[in-house]
Amino acid sequence: MSRIVHVGAAQLGPIGRDETRKEVVERLIDLLQQGAEEACELIVFPELALTTFFPRWFTEDISAHDHFFETEMPGPDTQPLFDEARRLGIGFSLGYAELTPDGHRYNTCILIDRAGRQVGKYRKVHIPGHEHHEPSRPFQHLERRYFQESMDGFPVFRGFDGIIGMALCNDRRWPETYRVLGLQAVELILIGYNTPLWYAPDPDHNALQGFHSHLVMQAGAYQNGTWVVGVAKGGIEEGVEALSQSVIIGPSGQIVAQAITSGDVLISAHCDLELCKRYKDTLFDFGRYRRPEVYGLITERKGAIAPPLDPAPGGLDQ
C-alpha cells in the first residue's frame, strides 16, 4: 500500500534589503497557489524566507537588526499566508528569524498542517560563519553573531500521514543530522537553505559547490531511508550570489525533481513514504546491524585528532 504526499519545493529568488514583508508574503502566496494548482499537500519554503540574508552585514548593536526577526508567528504581515494556506487546504514549512520574548535569537523553521495548525518547530543546530567584523572578506557571513545555537536537537513530528523532520542550511552538511532523525524513523526531511557562493582560485571548487550540496542530501536520504526536500533562496541578492538548485530526493538517494533556474519557482513530486521501508527495514536494518558501542568517538570528541606517530627504534621519532 502506498502513502503518497505530494510535496512542492518553493524556491525563492533574491529578496532585496528594502523589500517589505507584505511584498515577500505575496510572493510566497503566489507559490502556494501554484502548488494548489498542482494539487500539492505540503509546500516547503526556504530558510529565512521572509527577508534578505541579513547576516551578511555587520552591526555593533545586534538589536539594530531586530526588524529582520519575527516576534510572533503568525504576525500581522504573515497572517495572510496562513489564511490562504488554510483556505487552500495546504500545509507548509517556513524558515524565518525568531526573536523570543526573553530575547533569544534563533534561525527557525515551523511546520504547519493542512488545517493551519503548527505541528512542529525546529531551531538551527549547526550555525556557520563568524562572530566578528571581518571587512577584508569579499562578503561576510555573520550567522554566529546574530543567531544562537539551538540545544533542542533534531525532533520529528507526525503529520501528512508520515514522520517528518526539519533542518536548515549548514545542518545538511552533517551526517549526524540525518542519523539522529533516521533513528527516530523519519520519512521526510525538509531543509531550507541560503548558501552564498564563494569563488576560490581553484576552479574545481567553484564547479563543485552545487554538487556538494546535492551529495550530502542524497547520501543522507539513502543512508537513512528517507525523502529529503532541499529548498533554496538563490540568485544574486544584494550583490552576493547564492546557490539555487532546489531538489526533491527519494530514499534511494536519487534526485526526482530539481529546479534549473534561480528565481521563484515551484517543483514538486509525489513522495511515497512507504518506499522508505525498503531501505530502513531491508538494506539498513538499524536494529540488527548498527553497533553503537563502537561509535563512541562521534559524541566523545568534537574535533579531529590524529593518532600519535609510531616511535622510531630507540624510542625517538624519525
Active site residues: 47, 124, 169
Q: How far is CA 58 from the centre of its chain?
A: 23
Half-sphere exposure of residue 172, counting CA atoms within 13 Å on the CB side?
Answer: 28
Judge whether 223 and 262 are in contact, CB under 8 Å.
no
Which DSSP string do the residues of 176-222 spell out, in sequence order?
A: HHHHHHHTTT--EEEEEE--B----S-HHHHHHHHHHHHHHHHHHHH
C-alpha cell at 244: 539555487
The CA-based angle 51-55-61, given to 5 degrees, is 105
User: Rounded CA gap, 238 and 56, in Å?
Assistant: 9
User: Rounded CA gap, 187 and 183, in Å?
Assistant: 11
Judge whether 166 and 120 are in contact, CB under 8 Å.
yes
Pairing of strands 162-168, 188-193: parallel
Which residue type sits at 246?
A: S
